[in-house]
């Protein structure tokens, strides 16, 4: 049945108003729904689904359920809008890439000057983090990882077996965690087996001796068996003696065959440490303040590299600037995560780097190698080839494309792979932003599984390219509305390098007379800290090997027990920084440590005093007096004294640790450790 309204509209104003009100009431909820969903609310990650979320990002999570799409953050501003009011103490919000524990959903991390540990807000409750998650989490410190590691509890106990603590060592600028458990377990099994074999051999000898020596051989069953039984007893005694000799002498035998057979090497795992990128904004080529032996590349030097390698292909060097800034902020030592797959100015994988250098056919005189992708020249050379090749593909299929759209597509090709870029170009529809986005839907029309994840991420990369790379290109001098073929390309330049553009490295900050020396650093949590002074010593003195024996919360008595039976002659120098834990007995225990070191010929003692710790834990005026007594004792002992107490106090409050150098009221932060390292170098190694 159909109803037709045929009356004069002017006669029914009330009906008209009622009709408008009813439509508004019916459809208002639908209109409000668009773009209003908060982080963590369910959404649809199909084409156009991003518009449901305030953040503009509807992500397909790794949860296994029907509704597994959720709104998450797309950039730092989304985090500020979502949680800024709730956490007023946060001064900086960051949107971090999702991880296994977060179901691959991006999450927000807030920091501030008055916040001890970052505030983390997840889109949905994370799954329980396993040990691997903790290892991969950049917020988890090495100290926390070590406290997580428990000594093994074997179901079958071996008498005399007592596992040591896991420890960290620094070797040639790299920090390693040493897990001694397997080596100690094998050693215990060997010792127990020798004891058991020896006991069994002795038992066989006793029983066989009785059979041999008793009158009339009472243990034999008949007179005719006496001679045979006696001979068997002799053989068993001989075999037992041979077995006993082998069991007891096996160490010597194995050592004579191959000394490596008797070395139970501990499991050694490299610690991938977070790099403080703030130092790379400095304008000097070197950080001379604390003597850190790491080259810092200025934006002027990077611009020269971009000009040189863009000239190899007739590429506008500002294209490299835009993509490099989007990938790393033009920080040569940037990594996605500590030890991550993607590194350097253009966030390259090793395979990408090798392929770029090989296909770029650069001359051997450049000596480029992907062994160090953090080298800005290597990273630039590989990226310049691929970015220029991708631009050639774009211009071939989209001759009239603007510089603006081309930059966004270049970022997709560089960050998401050439396969996605080729599929878009194969559609031949790349005139503007809308047509390019439509191409994604044609490439991956079906929702579900891998296709959904691929298209969602590809669209996210393209939007990021449009919102970030394009403005970076404009600020670098690219006119966005001009044709890409004239704006992003230029004539090939003769400036393509024939010899390396690298800067010469500055020599070690330590005197050459210490080259090849071995140093042991003994201490507690301050020494154990991943970014401790030992790390900066290794960076500044690359020709010296450093090892750490240090555990959180341990006192000087523990430190002495670690070295009392240890051969210290393998070291040239032992640095001792201990005493604050168990301060009342520190003088006695430090005296034992110092005497052990001084009584080892050829080993030098370097002493670091207890640093200010007023206000921490059980601190009181009595302990302050004791601290001063201990430091006076440390100063007056023979050896090299590192006078740093006054460096870390607050002006007018010398016994309180300066917050500029502290993680808390007792532990130094990286800046404090850098100052300490500088003092150690100038006092003990120059």
- pLDDT for residue 33: 41
- Can you give 277-309 as a three-state secondary structure string? HHHHHCCCCCCCCCCCCCCCCCHHHHHHHHHHH
Strand 92-96, strand 69-71: pairing = unpaired
The mean-pLDDT minimum among 173-177, 223-227, 256-260, 590-594 falls in: 223-227
- pLDDT for residue 331: 77
Positions of E strands within 432-583? 518-523, 545-550, 573-577
Cα separation, 581 vs 619, whole angstroms: 11
- pLDDT for residue 132: 52
376 touches 297 (CB < 8 A): yes
- pLDDT for residue 374: 75
Q: What residues contact residue 289 under an 8 Å CB cut-off, 6+ apart?
A: 674, 678
Place of tokens 């296709």: 451
- pLDDT for residue 444: 53
Burial of 469 (0-12, 13-18, 19+ CB in 10 A): buried
Structure tokens that stand for 553 in this block: 């919360």
- The C-alpha torsion from 455 through 412 and 395 to 50, rounded to 10°, is 50
Cα separation, 148 vs 133, whole angstroms: 12
CA 495 to chain centroid: 37
CA angle 393, 461, 373 (to 5 degrees): 75
The mean-pLDDT minimum among 35-49, 219-233, 460-474, 637-651 falls in: 219-233
Confidence band for 570, pLDDT divided at 50, 70 and 90 = very high
Residue 58 parent element (H or E):
strand 58-60
Sign of CA dihedral 131, 135, 138, 139: positive
Burial of 378 (0-12, 13-18, 19+ CB in 10 A): buried
- pLDDT for residue 212: 80
Phi, psi of 684, rounded to the nearest 5 degrees = -115, -20
- pLDDT for residue 129: 61
% of the chain surpassing 90 pLDDT: 19
Cα separation, 374 vs 603, whole angstroms: 37
Q: What residues contact residue 419 under an 8 Å CB cut-off, 6+ apart?
A: none
CA angle 52, 56, 60 (to 5 degrees): 75
The mean-pLDDT minimum among 104-113, 128-137, 224-233 falls in: 128-137
pLDDT at 522 over 90: yes
Confidence band for 46, pLDDT divided at 50, 70 and 90 = low
97 touches 336 (CB < 8 A): yes
Place of tokens 């759209």: 405
Residues 334-391 pLDDT 10s? 766 545 678 888 989 888 899 999 888 888 878 788 877 878 888 999 999 999 999 9
562 touches 549 (CB < 8 A): yes
pLDDT at 242 over 50: yes
Name which of 457, 356, 531 is nearest 345 in CA terms: 356
% of the chain surpassing 70 pLDDT: 77
Instruction: Please compute the mean of the pLDDT values over residues 254-261 and round it to a whole number.
Output: 78
Cα separation, 72 vs 258, whole angstroms: 59
pLDDT at 613 over 80: yes
Residues 155-178 pLDDT 10s? 777 887 888 777 777 665 567 777
Total Cβ atoms within 10 A of residue 15: 12
472 touches 330 (CB < 8 A): no
Structure tokens that stand for 569 in this block: 């002659």
Identify the bridge partners of residue 167 per DSSP, sorted by sequence position. Answer: 178
Cα separation, 306 vs 380, whole angstroms: 7
Cα separation, 407 vs 484, whole angstroms: 9
Which of 489-498, 510-519, 563-572 is modeled with the greatest confidence?
563-572
- pLDDT for residue 6: 44
Identify the bridge partners of residue 379 per DSSP, sorted by sequence position. Answer: none
Cα separation, 452 vs 621, whole angstroms: 65
Q: For residues 38 and 542, which has the higher predicted lDDT (pLDDT)?
A: 38
pLDDT at 148 over 60: yes
Which of 109-113, 393-397, 565-569 is modeled with the greatest confidence?
565-569
Sign of CA dihedral 409, 413, 415, 417: positive
Alpha carbon distances (Å) from 269 to 146, 173, 250, 253: 12, 14, 30, 31
Residues 495-512 pLDDT 10s? 678 776 654 333 346 777
- pLDDT for residue 363: 82
- pLDDT for residue 427: 66
- pLDDT for residue 593: 95
First to last CA, the chain: 100
Residues 398-443 pLDDT 10s? 888 899 989 998 988 888 888 778 877 766 667 677 777 777 666 5
Q: What is the mean pLDDT of the chain?
A: 78
Residue environment code for 141-174, b if the CB has 16+ CB neighbours within 10 A, otherwise e: bbbebbeeeeeeeeeeeeeeeebebbbbbbeebe
Cα separation, 196 vs 612, whole angstroms: 54
Q: For residues 592 and 196, which has the higher predicted lDDT (pLDDT)?
A: 592
pLDDT at 289 over 50: no
User: Taking phi first (over 0 means left), then psi (-120 to 50 degrees means alpha), and beta for anything else, what does residue 538 get?
Assistant: alpha
Assign 3-state DSSP to the chain and report helix, strand, coil percentages, each to 5.
50, 10, 40
Structure tokens that stand for 367 in this block: 């000596």
Residues 433-489 pLDDT 10s? 777 777 766 655 544 444 444 566 777 778 887 888 898 899 889 998 999 999 998
Cα separation, 457 vs 337, whole angstroms: 19
Sign of CA dihedral 474, 477, 482, 485: negative
Cα separation, 111 vs 553, whole angstroms: 27
Phi, psi of 60, rounded to the nearest 5 degrees = -85, 115
Cα separation, 607 vs 601, whole angstroms: 17
Residue environment code for 542-554, b if the CB has 16+ CB neighbours within 10 A, otherwise e: bebbbbbbbbbeb
pLDDT at 3 over 70: no
């Amino acid at each position: 049945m159909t109803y037709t309204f045929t009356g004069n509209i002017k006669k029914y104003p009330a009906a008209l108003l009622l009709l408008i009100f009813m439509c508004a009431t019916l459809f208002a909820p639908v209109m409000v729904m668009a773009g209003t969903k908060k982080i963590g609310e369910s959404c649809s990650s199909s084409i156009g689904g991003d518009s449901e979320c305030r953040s503009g990002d509807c992500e397909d999570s790794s949860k296994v359920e029907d509704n597994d799409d959720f709104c998450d953050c797309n950039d730092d501003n989304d985090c500020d809008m979502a949680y800024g009011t709730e956490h007023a103490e946060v001064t900086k919000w960051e949107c971090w890439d999702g991880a296994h524990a977060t179901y691959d959903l991006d999450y927000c991390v807030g920091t501030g000057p008055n916040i001890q540990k970052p505030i983390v807000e997840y889109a949905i409750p994370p799954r329980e983090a396993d040990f691997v998650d903790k290892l991969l989490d950049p917020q988890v410190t090495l100290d926390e990882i070590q406290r997580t590691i428990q000594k093994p509890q074997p179901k079958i106990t071996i008498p005399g077996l007592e596992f040591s603590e896991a420890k960290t060592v620094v070797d040639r600028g790299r920090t390693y965690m040493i897990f001694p458990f397997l080596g100690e377990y094998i050693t215990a099994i060997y010792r127990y087996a020798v004891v058991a074999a020896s006991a069994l051999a002795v038992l066989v000898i006793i029983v066989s001796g009785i059979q041999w020596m008793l009158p009339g051989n009472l243990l034999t069953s008949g007179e005719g068996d006496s001679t045979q039984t006696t001979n068997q007893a002799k053989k068993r005694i001989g075999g037992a003696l041979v077995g006993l000799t082998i069991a007891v002498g096996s160490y010597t035998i194995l050592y004579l065959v191959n000394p490596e057979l008797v070395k139970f090497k501990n499991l050694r795992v490299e610690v991938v440490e977070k790099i403080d990128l703030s130092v790379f904004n400095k304008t000097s080529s070197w950080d001379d303040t604390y003597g850190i032996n790491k080259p810092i590349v200025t934006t002027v030097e990077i611009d020269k590299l971009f000009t040189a390698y863009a000239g190899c292909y007739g590429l506008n060097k500002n294209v490299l600037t835009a993509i490099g800034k989007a990938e790393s902020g033009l920080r040569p030592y940037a990594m996605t995560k500590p030890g991550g797959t993607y590194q350097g100015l253009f966030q390259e994988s090793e395979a990408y780097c090798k392929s770029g250098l090989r296909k770029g056919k650069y001359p051997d005189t450049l000596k480029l190698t992907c062994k160090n992708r953090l080298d800005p020249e290597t990273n630039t050379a590989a990226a310049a080839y691929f970015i220029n090749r991708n631009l050639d593909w774009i211009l071939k299929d989209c001759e009239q494309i603007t510089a603006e759209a081309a930059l966004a597509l270049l970022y997709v090709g560089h960050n998401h792979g050439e396969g996605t870029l080729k599929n878009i170009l194969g559609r031949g529809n790349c005139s503007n932003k809308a047509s390019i986005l439509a191409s994604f839907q044609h490439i991956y029309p079906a929702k579900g599984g891998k296709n959904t994840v691929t298209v969602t991420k590809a669209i996210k990369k393209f939007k990021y390219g449009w919102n970030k790379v394009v403005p970076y290109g404009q600020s670098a001098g690219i006119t966005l509305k001009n044709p890409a073929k004239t704006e992003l390309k230029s004539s090939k330049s003769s400036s393509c390098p024939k010899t390396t553009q690298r800067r010469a490295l500055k020599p070690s900050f330590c005197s050459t007379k210490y080259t090849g020396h071995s140093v042991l650093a003994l201490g507690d949590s301050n020494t154990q800290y991943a970014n401790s002074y030992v790390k900066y010593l290794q960076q500044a003195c690359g020709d010296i090997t450093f090892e750490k024996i240090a555990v959180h919360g341990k006192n000087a008595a523990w430190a002495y027990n670690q070295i009392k039976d240890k051969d210290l002659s393998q070291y040239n120098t032992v640095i001792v920084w201990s005493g604050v834990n168990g301060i009342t007995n520190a003088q006695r225990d430090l005296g034992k440590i110092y005497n052990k070191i001084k009584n080892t010929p050829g080993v030098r003692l370097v002493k670091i005093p207890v640093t200010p710790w007023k206000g921490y834990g059980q601190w009181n005026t009595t302990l302050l007096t004791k601290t001063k007594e201990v430091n006076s004792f440390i100063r007056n002992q023979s050896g090299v004294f590192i006078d740093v107490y006054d460096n870390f106090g607050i002006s007018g409050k010398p016994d309180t640790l300066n917050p500029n150098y502290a993680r808390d009221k007792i532990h130094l932060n990286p800046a404090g450790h850098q100052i300490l390292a500088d003092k150690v170098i100038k006092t003990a190694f120059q």
